[in-house]
Amino acid sequence: MPRFFRKSEKKAGSSPGLQIDVQAASGTEPEICVLIYSKDSLETYHLPNIDAAPSLIQKNKTAWIQVTGIQNHFAFSRMGQLFNIHTLTLEDMVNPAHPPKFEDFDTYYYVTLKQLAFDPGNHEISETQVSIAVMENLVIFVQDKPSPCLKAVEKRLQSGRGNIRTAGPGYLAYALIDAVVDHSLDVIGQIASAVESVERDMLEDLNPGHLEQIHRLKREVIFFNKQLRPVRGAILSLIKSESPFVSDTVIRFYADILDHVNHILDAVTSLQELLSSMLDFYMSSQGNRMNEVMATLTIISTIFIPLSFLAGLYGMNFKFMPELEWQWGYFVLLGGMAVIGSAMVVFFKKKGWF
Amino acid sequence: MPRFFRKSEKKAGSSPGLQIDVQAASGTEPEICVLIYSKDSLETYHLPNIDAAPSLIQKNKTAWIQVTGIQNHFAFSRMGQLFNIHTLTLEDMVNPAHPPKFEDFDTYYYVTLKQLAFDPGNHEISETQVSIAVMENLVIFVQDKPSPCLKAVEKRLQSGRGNIRTAGPGYLAYALIDAVVDHSLDVIGQIASAVESVERDMLEDLNPGHLEQIHRLKREVIFFNKQLRPVRGAILSLIKSESPFVSDTVIRFYADILDHVNHILDAVTSLQELLSSMLDFYMSSQGNRMNEVMATLTIISTIFIPLSFLAGLYGMNFKFMPELEWQWGYFVLLGGMAVIGSAMVVFFKKKGWF
Amino acid sequence: MPRFFRKSEKKAGSSPGLQIDVQAASGTEPEICVLIYSKDSLETYHLPNIDAAPSLIQKNKTAWIQVTGIQNHFAFSRMGQLFNIHTLTLEDMVNPAHPPKFEDFDTYYYVTLKQLAFDPGNHEISETQVSIAVMENLVIFVQDKPSPCLKAVEKRLQSGRGNIRTAGPGYLAYALIDAVVDHSLDVIGQIASAVESVERDMLEDLNPGHLEQIHRLKREVIFFNKQLRPVRGAILSLIKSESPFVSDTVIRFYADILDHVNHILDAVTSLQELLSSMLDFYMSSQGNRMNEVMATLTIISTIFIPLSFLAGLYGMNFKFMPELEWQWGYFVLLGGMAVIGSAMVVFFKKKGWF
Amino acid sequence: MPRFFRKSEKKAGSSPGLQIDVQAASGTEPEICVLIYSKDSLETYHLPNIDAAPSLIQKNKTAWIQVTGIQNHFAFSRMGQLFNIHTLTLEDMVNPAHPPKFEDFDTYYYVTLKQLAFDPGNHEISETQVSIAVMENLVIFVQDKPSPCLKAVEKRLQSGRGNIRTAGPGYLAYALIDAVVDHSLDVIGQIASAVESVERDMLEDLNPGHLEQIHRLKREVIFFNKQLRPVRGAILSLIKSESPFVSDTVIRFYADILDHVNHILDAVTSLQELLSSMLDFYMSSQGNRMNEVMATLTIISTIFIPLSFLAGLYGMNFKFMPELEWQWGYFVLLGGMAVIGSAMVVFFKKKGWF
Amino acid sequence: MPRFFRKSEKKAGSSPGLQIDVQAASGTEPEICVLIYSKDSLETYHLPNIDAAPSLIQKNKTAWIQVTGIQNHFAFSRMGQLFNIHTLTLEDMVNPAHPPKFEDFDTYYYVTLKQLAFDPGNHEISETQVSIAVMENLVIFVQDKPSPCLKAVEKRLQSGRGNIRTAGPGYLAYALIDAVVDHSLDVIGQIASAVESVERDMLEDLNPGHLEQIHRLKREVIFFNKQLRPVRGAILSLIKSESPFVSDTVIRFYADILDHVNHILDAVTSLQELLSSMLDFYMSSQGNRMNEVMATLTIISTIFIPLSFLAGLYGMNFKFMPELEWQWGYFVLLGGMAVIGSAMVVFFKKKGWF
Ligand SMILES: [Mg+2]
Ligand SMILES: [Mg+2]
Ligand SMILES: [Mg+2]
Ligand SMILES: [Mg+2]
Ligand SMILES: [Mg+2]
Ligand SMILES: [Mg+2]
Ligand SMILES: [Mg+2]
Ligand SMILES: [Mg+2]
Ligand SMILES: [Mg+2]
Ligand SMILES: [Mg+2]
Ligand SMILES: [Mg+2]
Ligand SMILES: [Mg+2]
Ligand SMILES: [Mg+2]
Ligand SMILES: [Mg+2]
Ligand SMILES: [Mg+2]
Ligand SMILES: [Mg+2]
Ligand SMILES: [Mg+2]
Ligand SMILES: [Mg+2]
Ligand SMILES: [Mg+2]
Ligand SMILES: [Mg+2]
Ligand SMILES: [Mg+2]
Ligand SMILES: [Mg+2]
Ligand SMILES: [Mg+2]
Ligand SMILES: [Mg+2]
Ligand SMILES: [Mg+2]
Ligand SMILES: [Mg+2]
Ligand SMILES: [Mg+2]
Ligand SMILES: [Mg+2]
Ligand SMILES: [Mg+2]
Ligand SMILES: [Mg+2]
Ligand SMILES: [Mg+2]
């Protein structure tokens, strides 16, 4: 499947919304974990399926439903019925290829994002889709496979420090989105390090391997940019949405995420410009090298080709070649060759060729 | 006819709107098929011409008129009179070159789009124009030749599943537009696969054939972009139009199409950047290759040209050349040549030429 | 005079508005033709000068004053007084270099445009300025020399078909602007044909002449873009102007022109991108060619230069060269040369140089 | 001082507004000239310093204070006190490096612009700063050195033609700004001529000198663009400012300046694109030339190097070389060489190398 | 740490706001200096820690708290409690990597900026973060290390000239921001000088060292742009913020900063375009040089290679070579060689190769 355009597996022209065909219904059941918390309490429930979740939710506590695994569409269909989630949202949740977005519904808002990681082995960025639906006192979090952002936020919830336990579902969603964006900060930091390290290397001692390094870094920056640029619009929409599930207090924190995203996008632009300049430097250095090589060849050839011709001339076996008979013919010729050769050297020196 | 700017066949300066000249009036009659449906019923009528259509329409059912073939302008003129369609809309319907757009009239809204397909044989994208006019309880769909989007939606209508039978003409139009855009998703997916496959090939083993592949892919991405970029504005206008024929429920679904279109356009931008980087890589690799070739030539030439000159010198036939008479002259020269040759090799090694 | 920036002939720092200096006042008198028409009548008057025009105008008919020739500024000054036209508008009318624009005055609105034509001989676009002032029941049309848009619209007026006779001065202006834009459609269509034909040629059999063709086409696309891009803003301003001389019915038609202009500008962008890709293809193909040429030279040279050196060595005339005396010396050397030559061939094959 | 970023001479961190340090206070006094005019009168006063100016101003006449020379900050400080000018405006007036801008104050508005000139000798654009402050019945015009725009407007004022004497200070300011922009029209016209003349030259007979010409023209277009692009925003702000010193009648005239500026900026964009295409043409033509040169070298070398090797072979002095003894050996070899050479020629012809 | 993307040291997924972990709490205590001033007085207090600061603040005087050093987060946490500063602001204050921004809180507004300096030794720009929080009658200024902008403003405060003592905290903040931006003016001025000096050098006598100079300057311009571009939005937001701590009088001064920032950003764009053109000139000049070198080689080779072949031919030792026996064979050959050589020279002259 292409990295630069993944497609959901739905056939063109099929019905909108979550499709429960035979294959999708028989997929692996998702793992369901529910956390119910308030200022002073935190309970964790591992459920066999989603149906038991609604009964766990309590009026004065916040619930966090963690869903891991998106193969079984039947389970998502059940979840949709239980929590009144639009079929288009459910479809987006089970689509690992959806670009980042924010969407505001009457009873919840929905955010989907890419969790990114940079594999230092093959120098490629990998992505995992995460989805967050925020309701009155409930956050539903969907991930294809276990992701670090969930673990980090769960740990903070367990420690009970800060206001994460008391600030409601909007703040929990903020914490999750912030963790996802923080990972992007790490990724762009690693890419920036790699770019600047190649640049230092090139300025010190250019070699042909730098070309592939530049291309691979450009490719990953393009990929990163594609995954992150829509996040800006999503966060901006969230801030301007006036959704009842985002309080004024929490909006300050979303603005902080926006700062991060802007910082990242500025860095992406700068890195693209720097990589462009590095490629231009590479290509021009190639040209310098070529000029040096060709000048060497031309100087040597231009000096010796005429001299060799003269030597060849007097190596001919004509019966009658008067110069050959002269007593000092050889030495006169050697002198002439020395003059011609020196003249050439002076000529090239004057032209600045070496 | 150029692919990158097709023109309708109307002469410059002619009257606006549908023109019924002799040639256009004598064109092949369009095939007319009318579907009348409600929650529980679906009737299909194949009509010899458009005149019988109005009498089939019923108050509480939705009608879908499918028109296949745009040569006979007289038929479209009749349709315009029967359904009160503006002459400029009729003109757009019979113009296979019109770019995508949305236009809001008092009694209907009009959308025209390009159905795209990627021919894996010649690696070219082909386009078919489709037009949709949405009225109170009627959708008129016009296509130049049978198109897959119509078939897919008709099948869903026949199956009766989902809410396609009950959600009215705005939803039927949505289903058609969605099918057209879904086909574009397929096309860009195939192009992305092709681009990334060329990129992998190039990094493994670059060959001159990659250049033409890159150019052809760039050309098709430009073509795709030209056909799809206006769709974004058209869907946005539709969503913001406040047309009475687009209900709030259906707007959610149009927003889902917009997600697809944004995803595609982001991918187009990324693919253009990736293809640019691939071309840069190709050109710089050419330069690397050239440097290697020239260095080889220069090293061999620079070593042997002076040695050959010396050999030529002692191949001359001067009567008096004292070195030739020396007992060890030949071996001294061989030694000298070995020294010169080795010095050259050391010199080039030091310069890092091999 | 430069094509890419023509300037009116006014001196810097001179007064604004129409200047009636001696030279301009003594220019050739413009041809004045007045058409007075209503649903059932059309009268044509050729006038010796503009002064007789006002008396021809009738309450319930539309008047169309055609002015051909812009040299005599005195005539325009008279026209300004007779019809209450601002001196800045008069100045624009007689300036053949003015870029397209729309301007709304209290008693009229003013549009100026470029009529374009593509000369297939020298492959250059030529431009003619046309100006249109629309008043209560009057259209003043100014052209430097007879232009095809006027002829086309006049013919429609004479035929009396359509609603051109009844829809008033706003519709007549629309018909003229539409005819001008339709000619641009023809021009960009011819350019697109030329670009795609060069592209097909290049892919089949690249030759150095393609370079100049690409450059000339790029130049004409830049020129076309410069002439047409401002038209979009002009038409948009006209549509949004709420001028009393543009009725709601006519605005639909102006929107149709806007469709054409958007189509053209999208095509211009695509053609610029295609020409860029073609140039990149040209340059890289040059590089491929160069690599092939250089590899040929290097292979031949690298094989034969060392062999020639050996031959030269044994062509030397030293008294004492033991190898020369050996019975099989010659054949041993031939064998050695065959080995060296074959080794080189194998080496280059392995490197993939041929 | 760099042309592409001139800086005022103030030290970083110093107080805002006009600074009256010792050096600045002891600068050459500016020349002060005051024109008092109405429909029927025009009086000119040359003053020794600014202090006498206020007493010259009359209720029903317009005053124009011309200040030439910006070295003496003390004089500007006095002017500020006399006419109630903000210290930041005074600072801008004495800063010859300020980019074009419009600023609206309660008691006046302020415009600063660059008067440009193209030196056909060294092909460089030079700039002079001019500043205009417009008050109730007063225009203060500041220039570093005598500038042509002032002279042109003064002449019109003296002639008394047009409405310059009666239209108040807003119109006088318009006339000055118009004169400055008109000079820019001249400059861009000269640059366009130069660009198109180089282009014609290149297409006729390319030579290496064209490269430097292209670079110098690109540099001047970048410089011109930097000086003129901010003017657009300044004029737009002026038009939209609703300043009491800009009447509706005069706004029409400012809109005319905006037309000029838009025309210039469109031309700048087109010229940049044309220069880009010219450079691409130059570089590709270099490549064509190189290919031709290299093909020549390769053909000659590839034909003769093997033949020379054969000649060298039979020039060896081995005792036993049977071919040398053959009666027809020489002619057989000549024949073989002819065959090899012809085969090579045929091979290169087939490859299309010449 | 990469220059093009610095990251704060917080771990992904950690709590928002200032973190007081063991390491951060044990950092070096910041230096605290408090200035209390009014029109007639200025008192300076060096405090051991922040706790004594609130008691120094007086109703009718302005207080300026200078905090130097950001390692000790505990101290910032105390400051936050004392002055009611949001934890996200405190986090930004201790993050030396934060991009420039403005943020408006109910009880203060916050600005963070980069103080830039150009090191003429290694030609690199260095940055220092400064943060400013403006409250009712208090400015808190935070810097990582002593910065020149603080010193310059403190000196002005001590001198008591201008209105810095009386214009309140908004004006003090303006003075600090202005000093930071003024330093950027110096930096871009130095870069512009360097760019133009390289350009002059290149036009006079191009050498390979210019390539690295161009690349390094491009890199620094990209870096500068990244640091300065966000300042524009920050200042604009400040001006439009309607914060009670920015009076109308002071807004004029912020507009003056905006002028500087716009001037800088225009210069950055122009310098980027100029550097691009310089690189193009460099690359094309390389091509010119290469063409000259190759033409030299080709001319010499093409003249002498055939002649050398002829010489080699008559140096062969065949028994029967009739030409060798001819009396004038040698001279006939010399004549033939002269003819061939001259023909070649004429041929190359005609082709314009030298
Ligand atoms: Mg940016
Ligand atoms: Mg970018
Ligand atoms: Mg970017
Ligand atoms: Mg960029
Ligand atoms: Mg670039
Ligand atoms: Mg580039
Ligand atoms: Mg995008
Ligand atoms: Mg694009
Ligand atoms: Mg794009
Ligand atoms: Mg792009
Ligand atoms: Mg790109
Ligand atoms: Mg590129
Ligand atoms: Mg477009
Ligand atoms: Mg364009
Ligand atoms: Mg364009
Ligand atoms: Mg483009
Ligand atoms: Mg390109
Ligand atoms: Mg290009
Ligand atoms: Mg433009
Ligand atoms: Mg431009
Ligand atoms: Mg431009
Ligand atoms: Mg441009
Ligand atoms: Mg360009
Ligand atoms: Mg380029
Ligand atoms: Mg700019
Ligand atoms: Mg820039
Ligand atoms: Mg810029
Ligand atoms: Mg730029
Ligand atoms: Mg540029
Ligand atoms: Mg460039
Ligand atoms: Mg480029």
The mean pLDDT of chain D is: 91
Residue E258 pLDDT > 90: yes
Six token digits for residue A26:
């028989």
Weakest-pLDDT range from B158-167, C208-217, E195-204:
B158-167
Give C-chain residues touching D196 at CB under 8 angstroms. 2-4
Tens of pLDDT, residue by residue over A224-248, are 999 999 999 999 999 999 888 888 8
Residue C104 pLDDT > 70: yes
Residue E329 pLDDT > 90: no
Question: What is the pLDDT averaged over residues E146-174?
Answer: 90
Of the candidates B249, B137, B171, the one whose C-alpha atom is nearest the C-alpha of residue A15 is: B171
Residue C30 pLDDT > 80: yes
Q: E148: how many CB neighbours lie within 10 A of its CB?
A: 16
Give me the residues of C, 281-300, that contact D with CB < 8 A.
282-283, 286-287, 289-290, 293-294, 296-297, 300
Give the pLDDT score at D53. Answer: 93
User: Can you tell me which residue has the tokens 């032209």?
Assistant: A351
Residue E62 pLDDT > 70: yes
CA angle C4, C7, C8 (to 5 degrees): 150
First to last CA, chain B: 54
Give the pLDDT score at B310. Answer: 87
Give the pLDDT score at C318. Answer: 83
User: Can you tell me which residue has the tokens 């912030």?
Assistant: A178
Q: B319: how many CB neighbours lie within 10 A of its CB?
A: 11
Percent residues over pLDDT 70 in chain C: 99
Give the pLDDT score at E25. Answer: 65
Distance from CA of C327 to the nearest CA of D (A): 6
Q: Is B267 touching A (CB cutoff 8 A)?
A: yes
Of the candidates D163, D154, D174, the one whose C-alpha atom is nearest the C-alpha of residue D64 is: D154
Q: Partners of D110 in the beta sheet? A: D103, D133
Residue C21 pLDDT > 80: no
Q: Where are the alpha helices (DSSP H) in chain E?
A: 22-25, 73-83, 87-93, 148-159, 168-204, 209-240, 248-313, 322-325, 329-351
Six token digits for residue C185:
């459609």
Question: What is the pLDDT averaged over residues A185-203?
Answer: 94
Tens of pLDDT, residue by residue over D200-217, are 999 999 999 999 999 999
Give me the residues of D, 323-352, that contact E with CB < 8 A.
323-330, 333
Give the pLDDT score at E23. Answer: 64
**Two domains, one topology: B22-284 and B292-351:** no
Which residue, among D4, D18, D305, would best test binding to E if mutated, counting the most E CBs under 10 Å from its CB? Answer: D4
Neighbours of ion ligand 27 (CB under 5 A): E 269
Give A-chain residues touching E218 at CB under 8 angstroms. 273, 277
Q: What does residue A258 show for φ and ψ, rounded to 5 degrees? A: -60, -40
Give the pLDDT score at C114. Answer: 95
Question: What is the pLDDT averaged over residues D261-274?
Answer: 96
Which residue, among A174, A271, A298, would best test binding to E if mutated, counting the most E CBs under 10 Å from its CB? Answer: A298
Give the pLDDT score at D334. Answer: 86
Residue A22 pLDDT > 70: no
Q: How far apart are CA C287 and CA B282, in angstroms?
A: 10
- Any chains having at least 3 CB pairs less than 8 A from chain E are A, D
**Three-state secondary structure call for residue A45:** strand
Q: How far apart are CA C186 and CA B12, in angstroms?
A: 8
Which residue, among E293, E299, E314, would best test binding to A if mutated, counting the most A CBs under 10 Å from its CB? Answer: E293
Question: What is the pLDDT averaged over residues C78-104?
Answer: 94
Of the candidates D136, D129, D127, the one whose C-alpha atom is nearest the C-alpha of residue D172 is: D136
Q: How far apart are CA D333 and CA D311, in angstroms?
A: 9
The mean pLDDT of chain A is: 91
Tens of pLDDT, residue by residue over D52-95, are 999 999 988 999 999 999 999 999 999 999 999 999 999 999 99
Give A-chain residues touching B262 at CB under 8 angstroms. 99, 230
**Cβ–Cβ < 8 Å for D68, D31:** yes
Residue at C228: amino acid letter: L
Query: Rounded to a whole number, what is the largest CA-CA distance in chain E?
Result: 122
Q: Three-state secondary structure along D129-152?
A: EEEEEECCCEEEEEECCCCHHHHH
CATH superfamily, domain at B22-284: CorA soluble domain-like (3.30.460.20)
Query: In chain A, helix, strand, coil percent, each to 5?
Result: 55, 15, 30
Give the pLDDT score at C24. Answer: 65
- Any chains having at least 3 CB pairs less than 8 A from chain B are A, C
Q: What is the A279 CA–ligand 6 centroid distance (Å)?
A: 7
Give the pLDDT score at C7. Answer: 80
**Cβ–Cβ < 8 Å for E12, A183:** yes
Give me the residues of A, 167-226, that contact B with CB < 8 A.
208, 211-212, 215, 218-219, 222-223, 225-226
CA dihedral E318, E321, E327, E328 (to 10 degrees): -100
Architecture of E292-351 per CATH? Answer: Up-down Bundle (1.20)
Tens of pLDDT, residue by residue over E127-140, are 999 999 999 999 99
E4, E88, E321: residue with CB nearest A270? E4
pLDDT of chain B, 354 residues: tens digit per residue: 789 998 877 788 888 888 777 666 677 889 999 999 999 899 999 999 999 999 999 988 999 999 999 999 999 999 999 999 999 999 999 999 999 999 999 899 999 999 999 987 788 999 999 999 999 999 999 999 898 888 889 999 998 888 899 989 999 999 999 999 999 999 999 999 999 999 999 999 899 999 999 999 999 999 999 999 999 999 999 999 988 888 888 999 999 999 999 999 999 999 999 999 999 999 999 888 888 888 888 898 888 888 888 888 888 888 888 888 888 888 888 898 899 999 989 988 888 877
Across the interface, whether the CB atoms of A156 and E15 are under 8 A apart is answered yes
- Which sequence spans correspond to the domains of chain B? 22-284, 292-351
Residue E9 pLDDT > 90: no
**Three-state secondary structure call for residue D94:** coil
Q: In angstroms, what CA-CA distances link A228 with A118, A316, D274, E116? A: 14, 77, 35, 29
Tens of pLDDT, residue by residue over E209-221, are 999 999 999 999 9
Give the pLDDT score at E22. Answer: 63
Percent residues over pLDDT 70 in chain E: 99
Give the pLDDT score at C22. Answer: 63
Give the pLDDT score at D23. Answer: 64
